[in-house]
Each structure stands twice: as structure tokens, then as C-alpha cells.
Structure 1
């Protein structure tokens, strides 16, 4: 579960966006569903030594290896102790209750912000027409949350895709926490 808390609203814009992964799956064309059933996504990131030490709050390679293993991430350590991290995941997963399929992943924001790190598991490119289809679906079914100070939003991180609209001021202050629910679905 993800918890959002609005400590301060932005002066304008900065809405949080949410999109139901179950509904998203139903909107995807049959050919794209077939492609996603055949191919998993692969996120590949190179990180310099000082950057990974700061990010993972350790300078111990054994600790880093344990972190990667616990997160199903493949780690390659280079001679100068820079690292290469590869994370492979499906684009479509069974829901938490197993009764339906859900489109849930970071494909769209990654393609927008850092497209070089994302390909299919076999290193083939994700076709632009597929990315366009997904963007059209996302825009069609996304809901925007306009924050009021003190608002709380809780979402199921295994079903709901989320993001935010851009903003220019430094007033927006939204706290986000990830937790495991203490109840069953």
C-alpha cells in the first residue's frame, strides 16, 4: 500500500495522477497484450561507485549484493566498483487476489524520463506504436487528485499506477510512505 499525505499544496498544478491497472489492461489491444505476454521488461542502470554508495547507504559490496538479491535485481560489479543493475519484470501481472490481470509497471514514466534504460528482456526496443497506444490509454483513464492541505490518499501499489503533473513552485510538499497492509485482500 502507498500512503500519500499533503502537508502543503502547490500554488498551482502538481496534481497526483492515478490510473487503475485493471481497467488499463482491458483497454490494451490484443496484439499488445500478446507482445507483453511473450516479452518481459528489462530496466538497466549503470551507477558510479560514489552514487550507489549514497543511494543504497552502504559502501559494502556484500550488503549491496544482498539488497539486490532481496529485490530480484541482477548486479554486476565493474573493476572500478561502478555497478550495472538489471531488473526484469512482466508488464502484466495477476491481481493480488488472482482473479484478473493488471497492467502495472514503470514503463511509461521510464520511457519519458530515461528511455535508454528500458528495453525488452531480449534487448529489443519497445515499439513506438505500443508506447503511443499506452500513452493514449493512460491519458484517457487517468484521474487527477488536486490536493488540499491535510488530504490523505491510500492506494494499492500492485494495482494502481500513479504519478504527478508538473509544477514550478517550491510549495508542494506531499509525503509518501510504502507499507505492507495488515489485512488480506
Structure 2
């Protein structure tokens, strides 16, 4: 997938352009999956908030059920995932492990990296086509299961993930979102949810490979990270892991096949300062290359969807 690139006339405000061309650009996004705005006057983080409102017609969403560390820049605009620069972030669709997710994503380049640091994109229609039909059918029949363990003093704590330290409130939230909570003896929390692996795009009805089954599987982590986690935790206590929906293990060769399907469908571009990337989250997976330098990308999410 290559984002449709639009180069601005000098001095063109991004929010004005999006307002005036909204209908045409919405059609482009629904077909291509991503739009890159380059050379526009954005106006910083406040301007990104205005661009979201202009294009999505609503305010940015709050980042809920956090699975990775992020910092709030202002309002509902966040940093991209705060992982160490040397680590790759594998391709994924934002919040596809949840019952409700953002349909449209916005990335704003405050400061590009010195080297690498791209936000690669993969067309998940193409990912779906590249996956062996027998593998797809297995997931469609059985679904996929995500198990998350929130350990005290390790990773994102459960009270930050759910935005409250009230256990009863967490349980109510989980019941409403199809999540099974279990309070661990050490004061932590384990959650289990079963989701669909294949969805249909709400605009076109095209099947898309929309899930976190690959991203959250322990074997997708770098080998040294896998080894370190397995030394600390038993399999059932890993911070995240995925299975078939009935709890069966996903074979390693299947995970290798899924990762290969994503990588074969991937394209990249180099960020420039003040670029705005708009992504249809149900058409394009995104990730992050390792990088050097100060790279800072702001992220906003909009248009809550349940498929």
C-alpha cells in the first residue's frame, strides 16, 4: 500500500484544505487506505486537532484499553508508542483487539528521525489475500483469543489501561466489552477476550485481516525479548499472547506465515517535518521502523467503530 500523496500550494492550511475537499478525500481514503498531506500549514498539535475535526467531523477519541506506553501531548493527541528507538514495532491495526476501535488514524510528524523511523503501511486486503485459505478458514471458524497479564511494576498497569483503580468499575467495563477479567493473587489482572480475525470493511464489504493475533503473539517479539520474558514468566503469565479462540495454540509455522504475509504487503516512506498521514484503520496496518535521532510523531484517533 502506498499512501496517496498530496503536495500543498505554499501556505495552504491543512484544516481548510480538508474541509473544502472532504468528500473527495473521503472517497480516496476509502479506496486507497492512506493519504499523505505534505507541505501544508498544520499549526502544530492544536492544528492536528483541528484537522481531525475538519476531516472526521468530530473530536479525537480518548486512547482506551492501552496496550503500549504513550504520553499525552495535549488533549486527545498522543505520542506514538514510546518504545526504545532500536526496537521495531510490528504491523498492526490500532485497537483491533477491542470491541470498539478508531476507524480513522492521524499521524503528524513533529520531528523526523535522522535515519529510518518510517511508519510502514500494509494493505490488509492484500494481507488477507496472501494468507493461505486453509489458515484463514481456521481463524474464521475458531476466532482468536488475546490474553493480557497486568503485573505490578511491569509494563502498563491495569489502572492506567482502564483509566481507574476501582476494580468494580474495571469489571463493569469488561462485561460490556466481551472481556473476562481475573484478579491475580499478586494484585495484578489477567484479561481474556475472543474476537473475530476477519472483518468486512464497512464501506466496501471487502474482507480484511483485522486483528492483533500476530502482533500480540510472543513469537513476534525480537528473540532476545522473547527469551527474557520466558525466563521471567510462565506461558499463561506472559504480558500478552494469542491463541485460537477456543484456547488452542497457534502453530509456529502459522505465525511465520502470517508475519510473511504482512511483510510482503508492506510499503514505506520517509517522514518530513509537518507531514500528516491519514489512515483508514480497517484498510491499512501500520508499524514503526527502528530509528536514530529525535523522531517525534503525534497520533490522534477518530470515528469509533465496531465493524
Question: Where does structure 1 lack aligned partners over 5 or more consecutive residues?
Answer: none
TM-score with structure 2 length normalisation? 0.54
Higher RCO (CA-CA < 8 Å; seq separation 6+):
1
Match of 2:283 in 1: 159
SS in 2 for 1:146: coil
TM-score with structure 1 length normalisation? 0.86
Alpha-carbon contact 2:123-2:283 (below 8 Å) kept: yes
For residues 1-32 of structure 1, give each alpha carbon's deviation from its aligned partner in whole angstroms, at most 9, with x where no partner exists.
11100000011011101111112111211211
What pairs up with 1:2-151 in 2 under 5 angstroms? 2-48=105-151, 51-79=157-185, 81-97=187-203, 99-111=205-217, 112-113=220-221, 116=238, 117-151=241-275
CA distance in 2 between counterparts of 1:70 and 1:146 reads 41
Match of 2:299 in 1: 176
CA distance in 2 between counterparts of 1:132 and 1:145 reads 25
For residues 108-147 of structure 1, give each alpha carbon's deviation from its aligned partner in whole angstroms, at most 9, with x where no partner exists.
2222137951111222111222222222221211011311
Query: Which one is further off, 152-161 or 57-66?
Result: 57-66
CA distance in 1 between counterparts of 2:258 and 2:136 reads 11
Question: Where does structure 2 lack aligned partners over 5 or more consecutive residues?
Answer: 1-103, 227-234
Distance 1:79 1:132, change over 3 A: closer
SS in 2 for 1:129: helix
CA distance in 2 between counterparts of 1:163 and 1:71 reads 26
Q: Could you tell me how far 1:80 is from its partner in structure 2? A: 5.1
Alpha-carbon contact 2:174-2:181 (below 8 Å) kept: yes
Query: Which one is further off, 68-77 or 82-91?
Result: 68-77
For residues 22-59 of structure 1, give each alpha carbon's deviation from its aligned partner in whole angstroms, at most 9, with x where no partner exists.
12111211211221121211111121367212333321
Match of 2:54 in 1: none
**Number of residue pairs the alignment of both structures matches:** 180
CA distance in 2 between counterparts of 1:88 and 1:145 reads 34
